[in-house]
Amino acid sequence: MRERTVDKAMLFSNAFNQYLAWSLSEQLVGYLKRPQIMKLSIALAGLLYVLPAQANAQIEVAEASIAELQEAMESGVVTSAQITGMYLSRIRAYDKAGPNLNAMIWVNWDGTAEAKMLDRERATTGPRGPLHGIPIILKDNYDTFDLPTSAGTLALAGNIPPDDALQVHKLREAGAIILGKSNMHELASGITTIGSLGGQTLNPYDLRRNPGGSSGGTGAAIAASFAAVGWGSDTCGSIRIPSSHNNLVGLRPTKGLSSIDGIIPLSHTQDVGGPLARSLEDLAVALDATIGADPSDPATAVLEGRDLPSFVAALNPNALDGARIGILEAYFGNGGVEAAAASIVRQAIAKMVELGADTITIEIPNLQDLISGSGVISHEFKWDLIDYLAGVPNAPVNSLEEMLELGLIHEALTPGMRRRNAPESRETDAYAAALAKREPLKNAVVSVMEAAQVDALIYPTMREPPSFIGQPQRGSNCSLSANTGLPALSIPAGWTRGLPIGLELLGRSLDDVRLVALGYAYEQATDHRRAPVSTPPLLSGRTPRPLTFTVRTRAGSALSSSGRVRARVRFTYNPLTGALAYEARVSGIRPSDVFAVVLRTKDEEGRPYIERRLSGPSLSPSKGILTLDINERERLESGEFYLEVMTRNHPFGAVRAQLLPIRR
């Protein structure tokens, strides 16, 4: 049995104080930059509770950057082993408990032992580089010799490859600590992250919605600060979509900039691998550690005769000054449900203009005809998987066909997998036709960019926000980069109804550093990054407990004369899940004269409206549980909700009381 790290720190006895500390920390996020948040949250905890100093609480790992973690280790404030233990505590608290994100499949509970060895190395010979002692997470399709590599499918649950993927090898050489493998859409064949082994991953910003995919486990895990940075793969959007859905940054690199050797394939022509991060600085550090040529991956021959770029060195807060951005109008959608993302990205473009960029509307002639039929996933997957399994000694299965025959594919994916298993030959006319369309598509895009003299094209990463779990996710703009091999960067652009929206920048081949620099300039001027409310900082290694509070109206607090009408509602609020349980009782009036008990608030223009109904006619007492979305949670925590009772004599409101679960 693997040894688990046990947090023996003091527990807070007062649940309200627990929640208050978290709430104040969350409130600070809106006003301070990350380094200030980290320092002030530590000071705030000391001021509020005057607790003894704890050896493992000298830095808050939630939202901490790689640079901040390195600074803390170099100064002796904290060790890598302690940081690793804090991340493992967050995984324990939030992955299969609390909000139950279900982002992880395999966890390396022995990670602290590896971290201790790296701490000793730091003390004797110094750090290897910026990833020394930094905990990371891998998507479950990256080969690791010491953890299973299952690609989210029961069929490969026992698959332990003989060696590491090339990028994993590079990460270990850089001193990174692999905390575990994240859930993914089974065999990378979808964008909502569900599978027969890992189940459904939840979006930490709204637990009712999907986290994107297929690298959705990595996206949710890094958004929730289960590690400093994580790795995914992208065949058609699988890095960029989770980045958009989880308020992260992610680069689909130029095909061949990094090796895909040791990544369970979906399509060798379109597959790439790379990091997802909470900031572009962290992304740049991660990219610098993993790019480079590999004889085992023929696509990396594109790097021959070239010096490898430095992403960290290219970061420039003024990169947008003088840049020229092409607005790919065809990818902004057709209004309706796509209108919000389009509007947010247009606002981002306006901000880029403020920062010195020039823009031009771009049209790629015959784009739809060029791109249609240029994807090759359905032609390559079956055969690429056979080739991968043939290279793994004692592989649990030998083919997709065998997986289907054994009934080991999730039922939601089985019909699609049967279609992908249908080709009876590697080389077909349809496959040849698809391959033949890719170069003309790439040439058309590049020629338009050259003619317009633009540094990048811009459009929404996803035209629609994250869909509810169980519903299809639509609105992807993934194919342009995937089918041309050109690099594309997704970065946070803003928010709609509490849900993150990403924008995508597409550049020329091997111009990845320019994209990251442009994104960095925008990020530094806007800072759209927000931590999810479902995974707040731990308090003494523990999650904030549900908060119970009672709201009472009084006779005399009437909106108009209401006699002796009173209401008493006992609430229990779980800040991790947004669940608001209630038990309401109205007195001083006959039940038949009660029309409703409601929660009322105001919109952005100050107009009142009913947000939620707690009770209908003649129902007193009444009880239930509401699941609040992110906007409702923010309004509740800000004291913007009022309890109101509507009666026969006063149908527009008899009595009112403010909900104050948090003292501001």
Give kind and range of the element (H or E) at residue 324.
Answer: strand 324-328
pLDDT of 379 > 80? The answer is yes
What CATH number does the domain located at 547-658 have?
2.60.40
- How does pLDDT run across 131-176, given as a tens digit for each residue? 999 999 999 999 999 999 999 999 999 999 999 999 999 999 999 9
- How does pLDDT run across 3-45, given as a tens digit for each residue? 323 333 332 333 333 433 444 333 333 333 333 333 333 333 3
Mean pLDDT is lowest, of 220-229, 411-420, 639-648, for 639-648
**Is residue 139 annotated as part of the catalytic site, yes or no?**
yes
pLDDT of 455 > 60? The answer is yes
How much is the mean pLDDT over the chain?
A: 90
Of the candidates 89, 215, 238, 467, the residue annotated as catalytic is 238
Are the C-beta atoms of 161 and 145 separated by less than 8 Å?
yes
Percent of the chain beyond pLDDT 70?
A: 89
C-alpha Rg value of the chain to the nearest Å: 26
Nearest-angstrom CA–CA distance, 479 and 376:
11
pLDDT of 116 > 80? The answer is yes
- How does pLDDT run across 34-48, given as a tens digit for each residue? 333 333 333 333 333
For the residues 571-586, what does the mean pLDDT come to?
A: 93
- Is the domain spanning 83-526 CATH 3.90.1300.10? The answer is yes
Nearest-angstrom CA–CA distance, 636 and 521:
34
For the residues 592-621, what does the mean pLDDT come to?
A: 87
Nearest-angstrom CA–CA distance, 336 and 52:
55
- Fill in the amino acid letter for 68: E
Are the C-beta atoms of 482 and 234 separated by less than 8 Å?
yes
Of the candidates 214, 215, 267, 467, the residue annotated as catalytic is 214
pLDDT of 237 > 60? The answer is yes
**Is residue 170 annotated as part of the catalytic site, yes or no?**
no
**Whole-number pLDDT of residue 655:** 84
Cis before 214 (ω within 30): yes
pLDDT of 559 > 70? The answer is no
**Whole-number pLDDT of residue 152:** 98
**Whole-number pLDDT of residue 555:** 58
pLDDT of 663 > 70? The answer is no
**Whole-number pLDDT of residue 615:** 87
For the residues 478-487, what does the mean pLDDT come to?
A: 98
pLDDT of 469 > 60? The answer is yes
User: Taking the CB of residue 2, how many other CB atoms lie within 10 A of it?
Assistant: 9
**Is residue 238 annotated as part of the catalytic site, yes or no?**
yes
- How does pLDDT run across 82-108, given as a tens digit for each residue? 999 999 999 999 999 999 999 999 999
Residue 152's region, left for phi above 0, alpha for psi from -120 to 50, else beta, is left
- Fill in the amino acid letter for 399: S
Q: How confident is the model at residue 249 (pLDDT cuts 50, 70, 90)?
A: very high
pLDDT of 543 > 80? The answer is yes
Are the C-beta atoms of 260 and 232 separated by less than 8 Å?
no
For the residues 219-225, what does the mean pLDDT come to?
A: 98
What is the distance of C-alpha 66 from the center of its chain?
Answer: 17
Give the tokens for residue 482. 């995937």
Q: Which has the higher per-residue pLDDT, 310 or 618?
A: 310
Q: Look at the alpha carbons of 358, 363, 368, 371 in this order and tell me if their dihedral is positive or negative.
A: negative
- Fill in the amino acid letter for 30: G
Backbone angles phi, psi at 73, to 5 degrees: -70, -40
Of the candidates 139, 255, 437, 442, the residue annotated as catalytic is 139
Backbone angles phi, psi at 489, to 5 degrees: -115, 130
Q: How confident is the model at residue 288 (pLDDT cuts 50, 70, 90)?
A: very high
Mean pLDDT is lowest, of 227-241, 325-339, 561-575, for 561-575
pLDDT of 620 > 70? The answer is no
Q: How many CA atoms, within 13 angstroms, populate the side-chain half-sphere of residue 52?
A: 5
- Residue ranges per structural domain of the chain: 83-526, 547-658
Q: Which has the higher per-residue pLDDT, 620 or 507?
A: 507
Beta bridge partners of 584: 569, 622
Q: Are strands 135-139 and 177-182 parallel, antiparallel or unpaired?
A: parallel
For the residues 560-567, what does the mean pLDDT come to?
A: 69
Instruction: Reduce the DSSP state of residue 40 to 3 states and report it.
Output: helix
Q: How confident is the model at residue 637 (pLDDT cuts 50, 70, 90)?
A: confident
